[in-house]
Structure 1
Amino acid sequence: MSEAYTTMKFELLPNEILMESFEFLSIFDIFYSFDKLNNRFNQLIRTIPLHLNFKPARKSTFDRLLLSNKETCHKIETFLSHFSLDQFSHLHSLTLIQVEDYILSKLHLTPQLYSFHLIDSNDINLVYPLTFDLRILSIPTLRSIETFFSQTSSITNMTISACSLGQVLQQLFKYAPMLTYLNIHYLSEYNNWTTNSSTIDIYKAVHLKELIIFNFDYKFEHFQKLAKHLPRLTNLKLYGNCDLDMIDANQWEHLLTSSLSHLDIFKFTFNYMYKNNDDNNIQDKFNRFQNDFWLG
């Protein structure tokens, strides 16, 4: 009499048994084996409690790290007390979220680092020099790299939380002449701490292709000054509060044709405090955007 055998596939087991099985595997084995296997496993391995033990892991296999203190306390400090960044010999990207000032002041960036991001952190001065290979940088303000303004960097992609127009023209374009992408969350005179205006017309961002400003807190004449330093800009996104000058179609048309002739994409959103006697004036300004230059 022959015996009957039933074959059970591992992926058909109930979650309870799978979770018990995962206890015998490291987090690296779990994700390497089951990540993207199917939707069920994708969700399961991201919801069960996992314990990460870096000690047996080869640090050279990590090419990026994201360390965060968000909704926690001193997690970055704890990690760095056990591991030195020098152990991660192939680390190319480092992101620190809500890092403490005293941790960053003694942080030594690895020489092969290509991308470094400070997110939701205080206005911190980086003490150790930025690496030669660094190309992508996110910082709270330009004060973070003030120490290195006497040097020239090879950074091509930069995101800044807050700065002033004077800082951009005098410091940033001098320090980072290879910029191709610049994202500024808040551009305002309030963030200004420069005093020397004699060199303001010297530096141009000749390689800059894309500029995004989420809150432009200046007048149109100030943007005109900035535009003269962007000879090869192709993509511009501009947002912010404004006066009526900022929504003058004729002024923009003249500026785009005279100073930003390479521009292919221009997206803008301006908030204006509407007044009762502005009806005709506002409507007239909107109508001026309805011509072949803007619609063609």
Structure 2
Amino acid sequence: MNSRFELFSTEILYEIFDYLSTYDIFHAFINLNYRLNYIINIYPLKIDLRNISRLKFDYICYYLRPEQVISLIFSDDNMGDQVIVFQRYFPNFKYQFINLRSIKFIRTDDILLDLPYSVSALTFQGCTYVSQLFVETIVKQAKSLTYLKIDCFHVLQSIDITFPSLTYLNIGHVGMKIFCCFLKNKGSSSNDYHLLIKNLRSPINHLKLSIENENLIDSNSIPNFDYLSHCLTNLTMTCLINKTFSFEYIQNYLMKLLNLKSLTIVIKLDLIDGKQWEEFIRKTKIIKFNF
């Protein structure tokens, strides 16, 4: 005899699954009956392995079907060596997870080196050193990446390849601080971070970065993103260096971003005048503004 729950449509079951973790889905519904097993096995899984015990980790790996996974998040915060253990379960990762779109490495000691071609979103968070492994992984995905988030900006210093599909670039404040120190040691100017972004030759429409180093040599170039004027629609910039900018100076550069629709800017201005900003916004395509 079927329960009322078992009579729910696949669509309703999917909506329920959307509110549950992968472990909860497997633990509550797997092996109850053939229909539920079938529905679970074709449900697109977003697996988040943060704050998970080894017992739950093993349980998930035992039941999941690689082809149903569309996103993966690894973290060593609660369970060490997650990536290594995961590879033991799935030694042919690249050819098993054929529908994987997004993968995040959050404070992990290891990463997966050979990713499926389907991966278009990469995140390296909590990275405090540069490894050639990071560079090789990013380079291998260059043609398919549309989203890249890194804390180690100077990883790009080691990359000599274009990213034709990259539309979202997020560079964390830790990365910019390390990167600026790196430039200082190399005798390079702050213009280099613009040069590295430019050399990606990417149609970036979402750019998010933070600059918090007072030793930048040429701070006057900081808000100059005119090389992205044809494509940039969303800009989030936090500039915490000890320099005050005039409103006219910032306005001059922002006016060059012809397609900008969303702007979040944290920067030291000599005068914060709401009316000035209001008049400026009216002259642009910006519809969302935070400062």
Question: Structure 2 length normalisation: TM-score?
Answer: 0.61
Query: Taking structure 1 as reference, are residues 110 and 193 closer, same or farther at Cα in structure 2, changes over 3 Å only?
Result: farther
Is 1:267 the equivalent of 2:278? no
Q: Deviations over 1:103-143 (max 9, x none)?
A: 34x72232221111112222435231133111011111321
Contact 1:149 1:171 in 2 (8 A): no
Query: Taking structure 1 as reference, are residues 62 and 159 closer, same or farther at Cα in structure 2, changes over 3 Å only?
Result: same
Is 1:92 the equivalent of 2:92? no
Q: Deviations over 1:189-248 (max 9, x none)?
A: 458699xx8xx88723421111122454453257457526523211101235x35x1525
Q: Secondary structure in 2 aligned to 1:173?
A: helix
> Which residue, 254, 258, 277 being the options, matches 1:227?
254
Q: Equivalent residue for 1:207?
A: 231
Q: Deviations over 1:40-84 (max 9, x none)?
A: xxxxxx99x745253564322222111111233222232234434
Q: Secondary structure in 1 aligned to 2:194?
A: helix
Taking the aligned partners of 1:153 and 1:85, their CA distance within structure 2 comes to 25
**Rg larger for:** 1
Taking the aligned partners of 2:234 and 2:225, their CA distance within structure 1 comes to 21
Letter in 2 for 1:110: P
> Which residue, 140, 145, 156 being the options, matches 2:151?
140
Contact 1:109 1:131 in 2 (8 A): no
Contact 2:204 2:228 in 1 (8 A): no
> Which residue, 70, 74, 83 being the options, matches 1:67?
74
> Which residue, 59, 76, 79 being the options, matches 2:83?
76
Taking the aligned partners of 2:114 and 2:164, their CA distance within structure 1 comes to 17
Q: How does 1:35-54 map to 2 (within 5 A)?
A: 50=56, 51-52=58-59, 54=61
Q: Equivalent residue for 1:109?
A: 115
Letter in 1 for 2:117: P
Contact 1:152 1:176 in 2 (8 A): yes
Question: Structure 1 length normalisation: TM-score?
Answer: 0.61
Q: Secondary structure in 2 aligned to 1:170?
A: helix
RMSD, aligned CA: 4.3
Contact 2:206 2:235 in 1 (8 A): yes
Q: Equivalent residue for 2:124?
A: 118
Query: Taking structure 1 as reference, are residues 9 and 247 closer, same or farther at Cα in structure 2, changes over 3 Å only?
Result: same
What stretches of structure 1 of length at least 5 have no aligned partner?
1-6, 12-18, 36-45, 269-296
Letter in 2 for 1:158: L
Taking the aligned partners of 1:150 and 1:251, their CA distance within structure 2 comes to 41
Taking the aligned partners of 1:98 and 1:141, their CA distance within structure 2 comes to 12
Residue identity (%): 17
Q: Secondary structure in 1 aligned to 2:232?
A: coil
Q: Secondary structure in 2 aligned to 1:54?
A: helix
Taking the aligned partners of 1:75 and 1:95, their CA distance within structure 2 comes to 12
Cα deviation for residue 173 of structure 1 reads 3.4
Cα deviation for residue 8 of structure 1 reads 10
Question: What is the number of equivalent residue pairs in this alignment?
Answer: 231
User: Which range moves more in the overlay, 167-176 or 49-58?
Assistant: 49-58
Q: Secondary structure in 1 aligned to 2:61?
A: coil
Q: Secondary structure in 2 aligned to 1:52?
A: helix
Q: Secondary structure in 2 aligned to 1:203?
A: helix
Q: Secondary structure in 1 aligned to 2:228?
A: coil
Taking the aligned partners of 2:129 and 2:256, their CA distance within structure 1 comes to 27
